[in-house]
Amino acid sequence: MAQTADKFLLNRLSRASLVVFVAIAVLCALFGEPLTAACAAAAAGVVASGRSFHSGRGNNPWPTIQKLFFAMLILLLMTSFWTGPWALSHWLYGLVLVAFALVPRGIATLVTVVMVVLAMAAAHWAQGIADRHQMISAFLLTILLSTVLIFLREYKTRQLAPLRRTDELTQAASREYLSADLHKEIQRSEREGTDMSIIMIGLDTHASDNDPGEDIRSILPRIGRFLHSQIRDFDTYYRAADLQFLVILPGIPTHEAITRAESIRKGLGALLETHGMGLTVSTGIAGLNIGDDADSLQQSAANALRRALQQGGNRTQAYSAWKPTNPPTKPRAEGSAP
């Protein structure tokens, strides 16, 4: 509920900001201030291409477009130090927070340092502006406060990470809770004498990647939503690895889990094909047997998925020992043909 409220408020704030920046761009263009109009237009582009403005903006090529608008805004602000108007330099007050929100931390730090140096140099050479030193003082104070806010945000994120039940990208349950939840389901199944199965789902081509590409990462939220739509209210699904998911199916025997896994596999394959991604999906199924615990059951499903990949992928495989046995030879009856 809190995440929904945050997204709602950010969406409304983004739309209001877009209206304000567009209005500033139009008015400045009419009153003969092209540089200010261009800065406002670039800022409007940053807002409009952001994920908070529209949920679909998280997919390519929107993140790249947003970074291009941000780079354009930085260049325009740098130009304003020497060409004016000097009042445009007050836009730098919010630059630090925007930089750390849009680009990696190292690049954001570099941008901040460069802008501080340029602002101080411009203030030193701007002899005809009386309040240039006050502007620099206010700018440095704003950067200090922004740094404190960024530190507190990072600290809060790290402190709350162990308490987060869901993966932020896919909305699947966090892998840190997988073993404990699976152990509880095994105990309940044994206590009530009911069946239980699990499904391990993985993308074939990149199943072993530790750092999936941007295209793969952009499709993960849709995969999470699809899995959520395919399970029952009391089923749970987890992001077991970067490109692997695990679904717990209480009360489902292995043969029914195979049917469900095959339906999920085909649905995910169609989803990937719709988005122009040449990837296939494999699933591994393991049913609860006597003596299984959370670790052994997960290992059985992982072995089944591995076997599916070894057979070429794009298939569903149930767990078994896979020990090749020679078929017993029947003794020939006397007098039979060789």
Domain boundaries along the sequence of the chain: 1-82, 85-163, 175-318
Tell me the percentage of the chain whose pLDDT exceeds 90. Answer: 26
What's the mean pLDDT in 117-125? 74
What's the mean pLDDT in 221-236? 89
Above 60 in pLDDT, residue 23?
yes
Q: CATH for 175-318?
A: 3.30.70.270
Q: Could you give the CA distance from residue 282 to residue 262 in angstroms, rounded to a whole number?
A: 9
In the structure encoding, which two tokens stand for residue 121, read together?
Answer: 């140099």
Above 60 in pLDDT, residue 295?
yes
Q: Could you give the CA distance from residue 189 to residue 178 in angstroms, rounded to a whole number?
A: 16
Give the number of other CB atoms < 10 A from CB of residue 15.
Answer: 15
Give this prediction's pTM: 0.52
The pLDDT value recorded for residue 298 is: 93
Range among 92-96, 220-224, 292-296, 329-333 rated most confident = 292-296
- At 144-195, the pLDDT tens digits run 888 888 888 777 777 665 555 677 778 788 787 888 899 999 999 999 999 9
The pLDDT value recorded for residue 250 is: 94
Q: Considering only residues 121 and 238, tell me which one the structure prediction assigns the higher pLDDT.
A: 238
Q: Considering only residues 24 and 334, tell me which one the structure prediction assigns the higher pLDDT.
A: 24
The pLDDT value recorded for residue 205 is: 65
CA dist 244 → 80, 118, 198, 238 (Å) = 49, 47, 13, 9
Confidence of residue 104 (pLDDT cuts 50, 70, 90): confident
The pLDDT value recorded for residue 213 is: 58
Q: Which residues of 87-118 are buried (b: 16+ CB within 10 A; e: fewer)?
A: ebbebbbebbbbbbebbeeeebeebbeebbeb
Contact predicate 77/35, CB 8 Å: no
Nearest to 121 by CA among 89, 86, 81: 81
Tell me the percentage of the chain whose pLDDT exceeds 70. Answer: 78
Q: Considering only residues 257 and 103, tell me which one the structure prediction assigns the higher pLDDT.
A: 257
The pLDDT value recorded for residue 151 is: 83
Confidence of residue 304 (pLDDT cuts 50, 70, 90): very high
| Virtual torsion, Cα 159, 164, 168, 170, nearest 10 deg | 160
Contact predicate 280/270, CB 8 Å: no
Nearest to 237 by CA among 163, 174, 304: 174
